[in-house]
Amino acid sequence: MPKKQYTTIKRTKLAFLPSVRATNKVFKKLHKRIMKWTRTVLRRIKMSRFLKPRFVSEHKSLSHITSTGKMRLLETKTERGYRPQLLAAIKDITSCRDEPFQVCDVNDIIEKYKTWAKLLPDIDTYYAVKCNDDLPVLQLLATLGTCFDCASREEIRKVLSLGITPERIIYANPTKPISHITYASGVGVDIMTFDNENELHKIYKCFPESKLVLRIRSDATSALYPMGMKFGCDPIKDAPKLLRTAKSLGLNVVGVSFHVGSGCQEPAAYGRAIRAARAVFDHSNTLGFKFSLLDIGGGYPGGSGSSLEELADIIKTALKSHFSDLSVRVMAEPGSYYVASAYTVATCIHSIRNVVDDDNVEQHRMYYVNDGVFGSFNCVVTVHDTVYPQPLKEYLDGTMLSSSVWGPTCDGLDKIVDNALLPDMQIGDWILFGNMGAYSLPLVTTFNGYLIPKVYYVMNQELKLATKDILSIPSKYIRIMEDKPK
């Protein structure tokens, strides 16, 4: 019957057309899906080059699972190089506790600071507090001399409490509650972003003397956390109108900002955004504004092995092409860049479920650990980020099992790793997850009664001495690690 129908349709031209359209629609849909999948795979492959294998997989009984692309991909990504000194420090901590914890490598943050200063010395950094507001991190960056990007009254309060002057803060949230704007006004934090007309009227009423920065939209084609659908006005269609409104209200707009997206995977996006910003600068001139600030936002990669070099070259080239004739202060709001690679999450296996087939042969291993997506691993559900499990111990027999790793709560969503090859581990063994410094700690909840993981700080002796009066870390949470980060 279906065959017959097909022949009839094929012979009649007019009847055939709708079916072509229908087929086109199906193909378009399929094409869209394939493209989306390809982009995800490419993104994962890109990330996987930061990770280097440590174990040779010798999985025998479940080899059919490794024949799927997904499993092979995860297999290469699950193991990454940890410095032996860091592993030793973590082992030392695990010997006296069974609660999950995070480890912050303080020297790693300093290395990031030095790299930025070397590659982009003329661009002031305003650390994005939202990314990780762990007090010692803020204290360290404040001491090193960074400024701060705050998103709310509480973040401003926290940064001011470190003794930071208000001039070192930008209130970089284009949509703000009136009470927060009033607070900023009261404490003298007067640089803030906006991207819409209503915000201008709000600011006009409660803080008309502020220095405003127009946030434009200029998205990377690929980013872990895109921003454009929420923030940023169209630089061509909307910016002129907003500037006219600001002018008519007598507000002081001083510059342009953008954010290409967190975890930007398209370095060229910065060049495009800088060019778009210049067009807005030019337009502002025609309205009588004297712009003096360009804020190139966040989005810089911060995982171990990632490099700032390519991005720095693109940014410098774009600034030279589009801004060399103007006297402009350029600033950036890196968050992930400073902290992502510094933090490792350590979880302990508290339960194991063996999934067996009808012949009682194990097909899959489910490891339940004491931290999950309602704790340190929020990124797994919010942005479908992939995290990479690394067993703390070495398992010398080489057996690798098809495994998943689950968080401790009673929620079915609480899965950290979907499909990975992991050794034959036992209850009480530890699994580490690296590159966890960005958007982890501030998002931890106590759902199901699980506590917020404690943070231990590792650093070399020299740094410990230099920071003993600067970082508020109880000595029981400090571990000494002698060598410098790679």
Q: Return the residue of 138, 172, 251, 444 that touches ligand PLP, per CB under 6 A.
A: 172
Choice between 94 and 336, CB closer to ligand PLP: 336
Structure tokens at 192: 């803030």
Choice between 64 and 329, CB closer to ligand PLP: 329
| Minimal distance, residue 469 CB to ligand PLP, in Å | 29
**Checking DSSP bridges between strand 124-128 and strand 329-332, what pairing results, if any?**
parallel
As a whole number of angstroms, the distance between CA 340 and CA 303 comes to 5
Choice between 100 and 434, CB closer to ligand PLP: 434
Burial (Cβ within 10 Å: 0-12, 13-18, ≥19) of residue 344:
buried
Which is the catalytic residue, given 206, 233, 379, 410? 410
Which of 185, 200, 193 shows the shortest CA–CA distance to 153? 185
CA neighbours closer than 13 Å in the CB half-sphere of residue 176? 34
Burial call 137-172: b when 16+ CB within 10 Å, e when fewer: bbbbbbebebbbbbebbebbebbbebebeeebbbbb
How many residues bind ligand PLP (CB under 6 A)? The answer is 17
- Residue of closest CB approach to ligand PLP: 298
C-beta separation of 91 from 287 below 8 A: no
Choice between 48 and 336, CB closer to ligand PLP: 336
Site for ligand PLP in 337-376 (CB under 6 A): 337
C-beta separation of 136 from 473 below 8 A: yes
Q: Return the residue of 65, 71, 120, 128 that touches ligand PLP, per CB under 6 A.
A: 128
3-state secondary structure of 457: strand
Point out which span in 1-9, 124-132, 276-284, 376-384 binds ligand PLP (CB under 6 A).
Answer: 124-132
| Minimal distance, residue 270 CB to ligand PLP, in Å | 12
- Residue 226 in the binding site for ligand PLP (CB under 6 A): no
Structure tokens at 383: 């942005």
**Checking DSSP bridges between strand 430-433 and strand 101-105, what pairing results, if any?**
unpaired
Which of 455, 383, 377 shows the shortest CA–CA distance to 411? 377
What single DSSP character describes residue 484?
Answer: P
Choice between 127 and 367, CB closer to ligand PLP: 127
Q: Return the residue of 297, 303, 391, 453 that touches ligand PLP, per CB under 6 A.
A: 297
Amino acid letter, residue 288: G
As a whole number of angstroms, the distance between CA 170 and CA 345 comes to 30
| Minimal distance, residue 184 CB to ligand PLP, in Å | 15
As a whole number of angstroms, the distance between CA 332 and CA 125 comes to 5
Tell me, yes or no, if 264 is annotated catalytic. Answer: no
Q: Return the residue of 265, 306, 336, 344 that touches ligand PLP, per CB under 6 A.
A: 336
- Residue 335 in the binding site for ligand PLP (CB under 6 A): yes
- Residue 255 in the binding site for ligand PLP (CB under 6 A): no
Q: H helices within 49-195, ranges in order?
A: 63-66, 69-78, 84-94, 106-119, 135-144, 153-160, 178-187
| Minimal distance, residue 117 CB to ligand PLP, in Å | 17
Choice between 192 and 318, CB closer to ligand PLP: 192
C-beta separation of 87 from 479 below 8 A: no
- Residue 240 in the binding site for ligand PLP (CB under 6 A): no
Choice between 267 and 299, CB closer to ligand PLP: 299
Please state, in angstroms and as integers, the Cα–Cα distance from residue 369 to each residue in 22, 102, 125, following that order. Answer: 48, 14, 37
Beta bridge partners of 343: 104
Q: Return the residue of 334, 375, 408, 453 that touches ligand PLP, per CB under 6 A.
A: 334
- Residue 298 in the binding site for ligand PLP (CB under 6 A): yes
- String of contacts with ligand PLP for each residue 131-150, x by CB under 6 A: x-----------------x-
Which of 48, 116, 145 shows the shortest CA–CA distance to 311? 116
Structure tokens at 203: 């600011």
Choice between 176 and 322, CB closer to ligand PLP: 176
- Residue 127 in the binding site for ligand PLP (CB under 6 A): no
- Residue 299 in the binding site for ligand PLP (CB under 6 A): yes
* Catalytic sites, residue numbers: 410
Report the interface residues with ligand PLP, using CB under 6 A.
128, 130-131, 149, 172, 259, 262, 297-300, 333-337, 438
